[in-house]
């Protein structure tokens, strides 16, 4: 009986050891399986990371390419801006030049308009409505007070002087009338220098006329006026028996 008991105890011990080894083996297998699972998970993670890295590298490459493209576009833009600035500067220069040319043109136009106005010279005037003029003891400048036409304002009725506004050739015409017996006449002066004279003796009272004309080359500022010689007389009324006229034929 004791031997049987020992045998049973040995078997029990062997069974217990085998069961422990079995449990240890199963535990080792489980641990190994978990490790390989983790390794596979890490491998998959590494693969995913490599893919993401390649994607990131591709994105970086694209970004770098875009940056290079942007740099190129920026350079082109800078060149374009410089060209625009240069063109703007040239346009401003041209504008300033155009403004200067416009100012010069305006000045020339003003000058031409003034010269054109000065070239329009014509007058027609009558002497007086007071009937008898003279005779006087001295030569007397005739002041034609009745201004019918005075284009260019070259004739001054206050002084009786015509002043040439421009250098040119001028035509003058005068008609004289007398009524009293005696001498009637007129003299033409240029800058107080005698040019010509007409006179006629009348035997008795009554209307008497003579007329004459003259063409003169005058400088700007030259003056023309008519003089009634001393001892001579004229007659005028509202009928304008005595007239004086002139015009610019052409400039020189």
Give per-residue pLDDT as tens, 164-215: 999 999 999 999 998 888 899 999 999 989 999 998 898 888 788 889 999 9
Q: Which residue has the higher pLDDT, 117 or 83?
A: 83
Contacts 24+ apart (CB under 8 A), 42-50: none
Q: Minimal CA–CA distance to 146: which of 132, 130, 126, 123?
A: 126
Best CATH choice for the domain 121-251 from the list 2.40.40.20, 3.90.1200.10, 2.60.120.40, 3.40.50.10860? 2.60.120.40
Joined tokens for residue 200: 């006629």
Domain extents for the chain?
22-119, 121-251
| pLDDT winner (highest mean) among 1-10, 26-35, 181-190 | 181-190
Q: How far is residue 198's CA from residue 162's CA, in Å, rounded to a whole number?
A: 19
Which is nearest to 150 in space by CA: 59, 248, 242?
248
Q: What is the pLDDT of residues 212-247, one digit of tens each?
A: 999 999 999 999 999 999 999 999 999 999 999 999
Q: What is the pLDDT of residues 54-111, one digit of tens each?
A: 888 888 888 888 888 888 888 888 888 888 888 888 888 888 888 888 788 777 776 6
Judge contact between 186 and 198, C-beta under 8 A: yes
Taking the alpha carbons of 246, 249, 250, 252 in that order, is the dihedral positive or negative?
negative
User: In this structure, how many other beta carbons lie within 10 angstroms of the beta carbon of residue 135?
Assistant: 17
């Amino acid at each position: 009986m004791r031997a049987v008991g020992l045998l049973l105890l040995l078997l029990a011990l062997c069974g217990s050891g085998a069961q422990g080894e079995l449990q240890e083996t199963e535990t080792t297998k489980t641990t190994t399986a978990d490790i390989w699972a983790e390794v596979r998970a890490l491998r998959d993670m590494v693969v995913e990371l490599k893919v993401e890295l390649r994607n990131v590298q591709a994105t970086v490459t694209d970004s770098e390419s875009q940056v290079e493209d942007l740099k190129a576009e920026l350079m082109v833009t800078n060149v374009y801006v410089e060209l625009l600035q240069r063109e703007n500067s040239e346009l401003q220069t041209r504008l300033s030049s155009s403004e200067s040319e416009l100012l010069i043109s305006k000045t020339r136009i003003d000058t031409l308009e003034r010269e054109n106005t000065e070239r329009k010279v014509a007058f027609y005037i009558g002497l007086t409505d007071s009937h008898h003029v003279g005779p006087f003891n001295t030569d007397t400048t005739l002041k034609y007070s009745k201004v019918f036409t005075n284009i260019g304002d070259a004739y001054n009725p206050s002084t009786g002087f015509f002043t040439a506004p421009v250098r040119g050739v001028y035509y003058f015409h005068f008609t004289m009338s007398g009524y009293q017996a005696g001498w009637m006449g007129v003299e033409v002066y240029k800058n107080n220098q005698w040019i010509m004279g007409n006179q006629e003796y009348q035997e008795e009272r009554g209307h008497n006329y003579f007329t004459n004309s003259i063409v003169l080359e005058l400088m700007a500022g030259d003056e023309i006026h008519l003089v009634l010689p001393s001892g001579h007389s004229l007659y005028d009324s509202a009928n304008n028996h005595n007239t004086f006229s002139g015009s610019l034929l052409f400039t020189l």
